């Protein structure tokens, strides 16, 4: 099996894990705390804040200043958010944001 095929299988496995975690916030927190470094967990939390703030109409500069991030980091979030069929847009819609 090629490396890319293995990684595809590994990704599918992670998706299955998240499907199981779906409604259990405590288990989700514990799992993410174990699988991610504290810095990775913080990065994910900040990326989500970028998306939420941009979706509410805040400017890139406002978001960068408030979250103390570089404008390039905010621009990446904005680029992903423009995809209306992408994960960020779909999750915001599902959460009612």
Residue 60 has pLDDT above 90, yes or no: yes
- Identify the CA nearest to 21 among candidates 5, 10, 33: 33
94 and 67 share a domain? yes
The pLDDT, as a whole number, for residue 2 is 83
For the chain, what is the domain count? 2
18 and 64 share a domain? no
28 and 41 share a domain? no
CB 66 within 8 Å of CB 52? no
26 and 43 share a domain? no
12 and 55 share a domain? no
Per-residue pLDDT tens digits for 17-34:
999 998 899 999 999 999
CA distance 14 to 19: 9
Question: Hey, how many other C-beta atoms are within 10 angstroms of the C-beta on 49?
Answer: 15
Structure tokens at 16: 């299955």
Domain that holds residue 23: 1-35
93 and 76 share a domain? yes
**Residue 2 CA to chain centroid, in angstroms?**
27
28 and 42 share a domain? no
């Amino acid at each position: 099996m090629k490396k890319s095929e293995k990684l595809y299988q590994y990704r599918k496995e992670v998706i299955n894990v998240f499907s199981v975690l779906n409604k259990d916030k405590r288990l989700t927190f514990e799992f993410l705390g174990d699988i991610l470094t504290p810095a990775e967990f913080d990065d994910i939390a900040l990326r989500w804040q970028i998306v939420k703030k941009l979706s509410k109409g805040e400017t890139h500069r406002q978001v960068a200043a408030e979250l103390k991030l570089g404008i390039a980091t905010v621009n990446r979030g904005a680029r992903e958010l423009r995809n209306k069929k992408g994960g960020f847009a779909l999750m915001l819609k599902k959460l009612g944001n």
